Structure 1
Amino acid sequence: MKLEGIEIIFNVLNETAEILQAELSCSYLEALAETGENLFHEDILQEELSELTTKRLKKIYSEIALNQFTNEQIRKGYQLAILKGMKDSVQPNHQMTPDSIGLFLGYLVNKFYENSKSLSLFDPAVGTGNLLTTILNHLTSKEIHSIGVDVDDLLIKLAYIGANLQRQPIQFFHQDSLQPLFIDPVDAVVCDLPVGYYPNDEGAQKYQLKAEDGHSYAHHLFIEQSIHHIKPGGYLFFLIPNNLFESTEAPKLHVYLQEHVHIQGILQLPLSMFKNQQAAKSIFILQKKSENVKAPKQVLFASLPTLSNQQSMGSILQKIDKWFAENKN
């Protein structure tokens, strides 16, 4: 992939976002959302700008045509601008899932749905949409109806604009995913689980995985909500903290999973990906129980090497192929 394409996209977004940030007295990320809207609509939508600023923006936008770039070039250029804006953001939930994980999750979704020409895909903590669009950009052989939900108004706006720029028709809902969701059951779920406590104790009451005392774990409730909204036999791909089964609430989670899903695999991500080893994560693959679905003969366990190590990754992919041949007939 040409770096020039990614750089051109980033430079246009960055320069115009900085102009809008100064003129509108807003944050860089808010200005990025504004300029993304302009770029998509090929127009300047902010009526309060000075004539000089409008002319400057028009000149910069006129030098770029989105249809000359691939979806991945647009996604990566936009992602770089978001990452720049996030450096100023202090919210810990504003963390983007690394590209290499998104690519690997795309590979896994494709593998588990090899025989499906179309599927519905749901991310209940979509954030800026980077994980979802990474997967969609690599599942081009399938017709995918995708849905993203997030409680953060700025993140969901950035996700919606990124999807428009990449011409990905994703349905977005701005709401708390742990409140009732008005969506049809989906074929598959992908989610980088938000880890922490859910502050809404009343809202947690309807969940089996609620805590008996104090706040419930949001990540446990997200797992339950996802299982509730997936079709029988559907697969769920979660990024989970490595210590998921070490908390005081873990026994309850274990019983719940045994009742509702078959565990398909746990793939531990390389520790080198995480600055803090306490924050290390694994990919957790589940299948919702259904009459015609059997548990795998054995669960797929693997520790992934550094994802850029092609030789080691090659042997892991062979291991996954072998597991599919033995367990997925």
Structure 2
Amino acid sequence: MEELYTYLDDAATYLENIGQVTYLEGLAEAGENLFRGEVCQPVSLEQKEWLLDKLSSIHIETSSKEDVRKAFQLAVLKGMKGAVQPHHSMTPDAVCLFISYLVNKVLEKREEPALLLDLAAGSGNLVNAILNQANIQLSAGAFEVDETLLKLAFVSANLQKHELQLFHQDSVEPIAFEEVDLVVTDLPVGYYPKDQIAKSYELQSKEGHSFIHHLMIEQAINKTKANGFLFFLVPNFLFQSEQAKQLHEYVKKEANILGLLQLPKSMFQSEQFGKSIFMLQKKGEEARQPKQALLAELPSFSKKDALADMMNQINKWFQEELRI
């Protein structure tokens, strides 16, 4: 993993230095070279030889999918430190793995393949982690509006050999994608500027711009099959805004609220940036309404004993409330 990260970092930095590209764009190019086994950029002979020399030191076929994902993730994180765009952020690795565990819980007894959708894929770290950890055959579709992040997700998925369909589109707009068994999205937070598009949503704001995180929850529920599951990373203040009542009523009408798991406070710079995992099941004949929703504040992921105890409680909840 370290060797792979070193290659990606060195090649991305080199491409940044010799061309009119950012580190993140250079990283996507470095990953593309690795996937194709050749230098794909129009560079001088000397530059090509330097890149080929770096490329020859890496044997991607001996790396596990998780090593590829983690090496790529580290390089993306480095690039994001230098990026000024506020939407350039990444779902933390521990959270990706914890959501993967929850996804496996709800798909545990499923025998046929499942289809997953991510409405805001970013660089693809969350969706790729879930695909790596899945205990059943799982394919996915993902939307991302930022071109650089989409290219990173594309290259990362290729290197991990995942069946992932990627779309360069704002996922609040009408999307041509089939209904899915599962939605997992780290929701962007803020106002959605396209009022005309928002008008087609039940969760549109009565005045001013609508919340993009509310519209995405509605879009996700619409794109999920009856009885399907939804996992969102949401801000802790989700049900404290002026539009919270409207959101709560809509969600209760369309889905069963399974739980809200607050992520450790230590993960965030300040309380205002804190997030939780919001778990839903779309209503249907086989959907179960738990008598008691799963509400908990997760311990720090570095405290192994406390986390193991919490996971035992979560497993017990799934068994008793959802019969999983």
Matches within 5 A, 1:63-78: 63-78=57-72
> Residues of 1 paired with 2:274 and 2:72: CA distance?
26
> Residues of 2 paired with 1:154 and 1:64: CA distance?
24
Q: CA RMSD in A?
A: 1.0
Name the residue aligned to 1:150: 144
Name the residue aligned to 2:260: 266
Given candidates 196, 199, 204, the residue that maps to 1:202 is 196
Given candidates 151, 155, 170, the residue that maps to 2:164 is 170
Deviates more, 1:187-196 or 1:295-304: 295-304
- Percentage of matched positions with identical amino acids: 46
Name the residue aligned to 1:327: 321
Q: Which amino acid aligns with 1:21?
A: E
Give 3-state SS (helix, strand or coil) of 1:17's partner.
helix
Equivalences, count: 322
Gaps of 5+ in 1: 1-5
Name the residue aligned to 1:24: 19
Give 3-state SS (helix, strand or coil) of 1:248's partner.
coil
Name the residue aligned to 1:242: 236
Name the residue aligned to 1:138: 133
Name the residue aligned to 1:57: 51
Name the residue aligned to 1:111: 105
8 Å CA contact 2:288–2:322 kept in 1: the answer is: no
> Residues of 2 paired with 1:283 and 1:315: CA distance?
18
Q: Which amino acid aligns with 2:260?
A: I
Q: In the TM superposition, what is the alpha-carbon distance from 1:72 to its structure 2 partner?
A: 1.1
8 Å CA contact 1:12–1:61 kept in 2: the answer is: yes
> Residues of 1 paired with 2:252 and 2:10: CA distance?
52
Name the residue aligned to 1:14: 9
Give 3-state SS (helix, strand or coil) of 1:93's partner.
coil
> Residues of 2 paired with 1:184 and 1:267: CA distance?
29
Q: In the TM superposition, what is the alpha-carbon distance from 1:293 to its structure 2 partner?
A: 2.2
Q: In the TM superposition, what is the alpha-carbon distance from 1:297 to its structure 2 partner?
A: 1.5
> Residues of 2 paired with 1:194 and 1:18: CA distance?
29
Q: In the TM superposition, what is the alpha-carbon distance from 1:270 to its structure 2 partner?
A: 0.8
2:269 pairs with 1:275: yes
Give 3-state SS (helix, strand or coil) of 1:121's partner.
strand
Q: Which amino acid aligns with 2:36?
A: H
Gaps of 5+ in 2: none
Superimposed CA distance per residue, residues 82-129 of structure 1 (whole angstroms, 9 cap, x where no aligned partner): 111111111111110000000000000000110124211110000000
Q: In the TM superposition, what is the alpha-carbon distance from 1:52 to its structure 2 partner?
A: 0.3
Superimposed CA distance per residue, residues 150-189 of structure 1 (whole angstroms, 9 cap, x where no aligned partner): 1111111100001011111211001000011111100000
> Residues of 2 paired with 1:293 and 1:87: CA distance?
42
Name the residue aligned to 1:36: 31
Name the residue aligned to 2:304: 310
8 Å CA contact 1:123–1:148 kept in 2: the answer is: yes
8 Å CA contact 1:269–1:282 kept in 2: the answer is: yes
TM-score, scaled to structure 1 = 0.96
